[in-house]
Each structure stands twice: as C-alpha cells, then as structure tokens.
Amino acid sequence: MSTTNPSAAQPRRTPLYDRHVALGARVIDFGGWAMPVQYESILEEHKTVRTAVGLFDVCHMGEVEFVGPGALAAVERLVSNDVRKLVDGQARYTVVCYEDGGIVDDCIVYRDHAERIVIVINAANIDKDVAWFQKHVEGRSDVVFRNLSDDYGLIAVQGPLAVSLLQRLAPEAELSQVKSFHFCKTDMSGIPVWAARTGYTGEDGFEVFVPAAQTARLWDAMLTVGKDLGVKPCGLGARDTLRLEACLSLYGNDIDATTHPFEANLGWVVKLDHDFIGRSALEAIKAKGLARKLCAFTMEGRGTARHGYGIFDAETGGNQVGIVTSGSVGPTVGKNIGLGYVPLQLAEVGARLFIDCRGKRVAAQVVKSPFYRRPAI
C-alpha cells in the first residue's frame, strides 16, 4: 500500500468511492486506485468477518472473457490448473505462468458455458494480463477476447453470516446449496448478478458480480438488510490480515515473476497432464527439486515482520537466508505472523528463524500453514 503522490495521476475510483467517503473511510492510493484501507478499525473489521459478515469493495479487480468455440482451449493453454473438466457454473483457482515458470498472475477461472470463460485477475496486473492474453489468442479465429473490467462491479460478502444476508436479497435463489468455487446467476434487489462462493479471507462467503452502474445500489441494500446481522463495511487493511491468517498469497508480495508455483506452495494448482505455457520449465523444476520454499512463521519475541525484512539463521552473526514477503498482527490467532522464502531445510515446521525488525533480530518459529482455518460447519 502506498500513499497518494500529488504529482502523479489521480487514482481511479470504483463505483463505490462516494460511499466510502460518506462512511468516513480512510482512503489511500492502492495500485492506482482510491480504495478504503479502513472505516473504524482494522481489528474490529477483521473480527466482524470472522464472527458475522463484512462487505469489501473489490471493484478494482479485473474481469476478462474468452468467447467462442475455442474459448476453453485458449484458456487451457494459458493456465496451469485443469479447466477442461469444469462444468457450467464452476470456478477454479489457478496461476498463469511465463515460459520459465515464473508467475504472471494468480486468478480464478469461471466457466459460464462451453463457449464463454471469464477470468478474474488482480487489479495491479490488469494491463499486463490483458496484453499477455491478447498476445496468446492473437490469430485465433475461434475465440474472441475482451476486457470487461469497466463493465462490472464486484462486492465480496464474507463471514459466517454471509449466506443469511444475501438470501434476504435473493429469496428465489438457494444460496446455501451453492458449493465452494461454484456460482449461480440470480437477482439481488432486482439486479442481475453472479453470486460466486469464493473469497480471499479464509471465511465462508460470496463474491457478487454486478453491473457497474448498479453496484452502489446493491451495496446500500446489503448494508440495510444486514444491520441486525452486524454487517460492516471493511477495508483493505482487514482484507490483508484475514488473507494472511489463511495463508492466501498476495501477488507482488508472496508471488511474482521471480517465483514459481512449487516453491510458493501452489503446486496443487499445477496439472502437468495438459499443455500450458510454462509447463516444460515447471517439469524441469519439479524434477530437480526445490532450493527454497515459502514458509509460515510466528514471532516469538516482540516485533512485527513486514514485507522486505531480512530473515537470518542466527540471532547475531550468521547469514541472511531469506526475506519476509508478508507480515502483520494475526488478530484471530493472537500472534504476530508472517510468510517468507527460506532454504528448504529451514522451511520445516519447528525451525527457528530470526527476523531483522529495523535492526533488531527477533526470534520466530516456522509453523504449519495456514495460521487459521475456519471451523467446519
């Protein structure tokens, strides 16, 4: 996150910008977008999502579509996971790779039907991803690629009471029957939406795709009907602490062009039985074995790990063995937590690390991932 640079171009605004200002949110420039980092407090918003239901403006995320008889084949070539067996109304998390196995982006693929595939991509990567996709469908006559990012708003409704809230707006839909990583088409407050049982918090919930012009009206309706459920608007600060507790990767921090899926604990989204860009490199990487791995750790001493802090193998002297990719307070787990890349032997649960927190090395211990897993229903 960064503060706005007065000399730079003004950040873009989502369809919900005026609502954030009216609700008193602290708005920052986040990757070129004016986004709310918090409304009341990050800790309270975090707690609301873990115990009730919170709303997030994620309209800055990008949406692209592949349409035509070659849509599925085109997407299959672009992503590491197997999308061939998706059925209508199903979604799948995956990564897009460069030829060397580095990660272009992580994304979710949604199958509308056999000839229409929608992919949701990270906001900061929209221009890069669109160019990458266009490059690799160019010359194909069986698929049309379009960037729909300005056409849709996206509201994440997250928490154990998310279904209860949304059911009030969509009485005709059976939202409790929508499985994880599936979606349904329905109306909410008379507005046509896609309701996808996906999220970035480690909680149950939905991400609701809505026509951009109707996003604010639906947001208002959600806040109104959810008052007795304790619904609150939540900002990027809580979204980050929630996703970190669930060990969900953040592009630009935990994964990027210099990392590959296997070392990032994303080997489960790599299916080497189909041809995709980066497959050959990933086969070679898998055969050779890992040199480093992304590990989860908790701080034992006083200190909070932050992105970019060095990881050492000794309290004094020794060697820098890695770097922190993400770190913060873990409100639900009650400890300061972090992620970072270290040599394979130091990524084992129980290994002792030392994080350089502003010149002071603070002890940390590698723990099992994730830090938090929501209770089974």
Q: What predicted TM-score, i.e. pTM, was given to this entire model?
A: 0.95
Q: What's the CA gap between 327 and 362, in Å, rounded?
A: 13
Q: How confident is the model at residue 316 (pLDDT cuts 50, 70, 90)?
A: confident
Boundaries of domain holding 113: 62-147
Q: Indicate if 166 and 119 belong to the same structural domain.
A: no
Q: Indicate if 55 and 159 belong to the same structural domain.
A: yes
The domain tally of the chain equals 3
Average pLDDT value for the chain: 96
pLDDT tens, residue by residue, 299-314: 998 999 999 999 999 9
Domain boundary at 91, 123, 147, which? 147
Q: Indicate if 130 and 188 belong to the same structural domain.
A: no
Please give the average per-residue pLDDT across 137-145, as a whole number: 96
pLDDT tens, residue by residue, 203-240: 999 999 999 999 999 999 999 999 999 999 999 999 99
Q: What's the CA gap between 20 and 29, in Å, rounded?
A: 13
| pLDDT for position 121 | 98
- Tell me, yes or no, whether 163 lies in a domain: yes
Q: Indicate if 49 and 103 belong to the same structural domain.
A: no
Please give the average per-residue pLDDT across 117-142, as a whole number: 97
Helices 42-51 & 236-245, crossing angle to 10 degrees? 60
Q: How confident is the model at residue 8 (pLDDT cuts 50, 70, 90)?
A: low
Q: Indicate if 48 and 67 belong to the same structural domain.
A: no
Strands ordered across the beta sheet of 103-113: 90-97, 103-113, 116-121, 62-67, 144-147
Q: Which of 236, 199, 232 is nearest to 44 (CA)?
A: 232
Q: Indicate if 216 and 363 belong to the same structural domain.
A: no
| pLDDT for position 183 | 98
Percentage of the chain lying above the pLDDT 70 cut:
98
| pLDDT for position 9 | 79
Q: Indicate if 187 and 130 belong to the same structural domain.
A: no
Q: Indicate if 72 and 182 belong to the same structural domain.
A: no
- Tell me, yes or no, whether 7 lies in a domain: no
Please give the average per-residue pLDDT across 271-300, as a whole number: 98
Is the confidence at residue 3, as pLDDT, over 50?
no
Q: Indicate if 54 and 189 belong to the same structural domain.
A: yes
Q: Which two tokens mark 284? A: 């070679």
- Tell me, yes or no, whether 348 lies in a domain: yes
Residues in a beta bridge with 96? 79, 105
Q: How confident is the model at residue 377 (pLDDT cuts 50, 70, 90)?
A: low
Please give the average per-residue pLDDT across 169-180, as a whole number: 97
Q: What's the CA gap between 69 and 57, in Å, rounded?
A: 33
Question: In CATH, what number is assigned to the domain containing residue 96?
Answer: 3.30.70.1400
Q: Which of 246, 53, 233, 242 is nearest to 160 (CA)?
A: 53
Is the confidence at residue 334, as pLDDT, over 60?
yes
Three-class SS state of 299:
strand
Q: Indicate if 55 and 155 belong to the same structural domain.
A: yes
| pLDDT for position 375 | 86
Strands ordered across the beta sheet of 205-211: 183-188, 191-196, 205-211, 152-158, 54-57, 232-234
- Tell me, yes or no, whether 251 lies in a domain: no
Q: Indicate if 217 and 183 belong to the same structural domain.
A: yes
- Tell me, yes or no, whether 316 lies in a domain: yes
Q: Could you say which DSSP state residue 133 is in?
A: H
- Tell me, yes or no, whether 170 lies in a domain: yes
Percentage of the chain lying above the pLDDT 90 cut:
95
Is the confidence at residue 346, as pLDDT, over 70?
yes
Q: Indicate if 37 and 27 belong to the same structural domain.
A: yes
| pLDDT for position 267 | 98
| pLDDT for position 5 | 40
Question: In CATH, what number is assigned to the domain containing residue 346?
Answer: 2.40.30.110
Is the confidence at residue 82, as pLDDT, over 90?
yes
Question: In CATH, what number is assigned to the domain containing residue 34?
Answer: 3.30.1360.120
Domain boundary at 87, 117, 147, which? 147
Please give the average per-residue pLDDT across 315-338, as a whole number: 96
| pLDDT for position 6 | 41
- Tell me, yes or no, whether 265 lies in a domain: no
Three-class SS state of 202:
coil
- Tell me, yes or no, whether 264 lies in a domain: no
* CA distance readout (Å), 94 to 76, 80, 209, 363: 11, 6, 19, 34
Q: How confident is the model at residue 2 (pLDDT cuts 50, 70, 90)?
A: very low
Is the confidence at residue 35, as pLDDT, over 90?
yes
Is the confidence at residue 356, as pLDDT, over 80?
yes
Q: What's the CA gap between 371 and 368, in Å, rounded?
A: 7
Is the confidence at residue 62, as pLDDT, over 60?
yes
Q: How confident is the model at residue 253 (pLDDT cuts 50, 70, 90)?
A: very high
Domain boundary at 90, 114, 147, which? 147
